[in-house]
Amino acid sequence: MIGLVLKTYCNLVRNAFLPESLADLPEETRRAYEGWTLTKAELPSAWLPQCVRTVRQCAEALRNVIPPESEFNNLPQELVFDLRTDTMRTILKQAIDDVSKLNTKETWVLDTNDSSGSTTQLPGMFENCINESVSHLNDVVIRVKAGEHDIFNDRTTQEQATALCIDLVKGWAFLGHHLLFRTASFSILFQKKQSF
């Protein structure tokens, strides 16, 4: 009985946050888990870390209830692993998107000092974006609880994380390049702002 409830719970959570992971199930079985009105793309990414925390707590509590030799013992752990991996991807993709939009938040007010000359707020905003992402990753993804697998021991996850981090740095470099080589009309506007 507990196995059926556990399997249903895991598949409902998968259907909400990882619908592609149910692709191997027969059509009839998949239909039993339908009913979510939002697609994964429509779900706010802010829900995912909280979902991971809740599922991790459930998995920890279930470890004490489910006998170790049970065939259903790995279901919660696999779900937690997949959710943590997806959360890592989501957080890094969100950081890439945030970095690409930093120029819209820049006020172009220069901070002048003797040691570094003049700087804008852009490097600080980039640093804040990275710090926030690392904080979320550390809180939800990187810390491994008892009975869980380290997601970065998985080669595919390592490759995905590396590619996303490279894309993040490329996004920062592209943003700098884009701002540096803007049209002449922008540079005239920037010079007018400086003269005020």
pLDDT in tens, 94-119: 999 999 888 888 777 777 776 767 77
Q: What pLDDT shows up at residue 158?
A: 94
Confidence of residue 189 (pLDDT cuts 50, 70, 90): very low
Per-residue pLDDT averaged across 74-89, rounded?
Answer: 90
Listed range (50-54, 128-132, 172-176, 181-185) with the worst mean pLDDT: 181-185
- Tokens matching residue 125: 């905003």
The separation between CA 45 and the C-alpha centre of its own chain, rounded to angstroms, equals 8
Q: 40-44, 81-85, 185-189: which has the minimum mean pLDDT?
A: 185-189
pLDDT the model gives residue 159: 96
119 strand-pairing partners: 111
On average, the pLDDT of the chain sits at: 81
* Dihedral, CA of residue 73, residue 27, residue 30 and residue 81, to nearest 10: 50
pTM as predicted: 0.79
Contacts with 115 (C-beta within 8 Å, 6 or more apart), sequence order = none
The mean-pLDDT minimum among 11-15, 27-31, 132-136 falls in 27-31
pLDDT for residue 194 is more than 60: no
Among 3-12, 62-71, 72-81, 84-93, which stretch is predicted with the lowest mean pLDDT?
A: 62-71
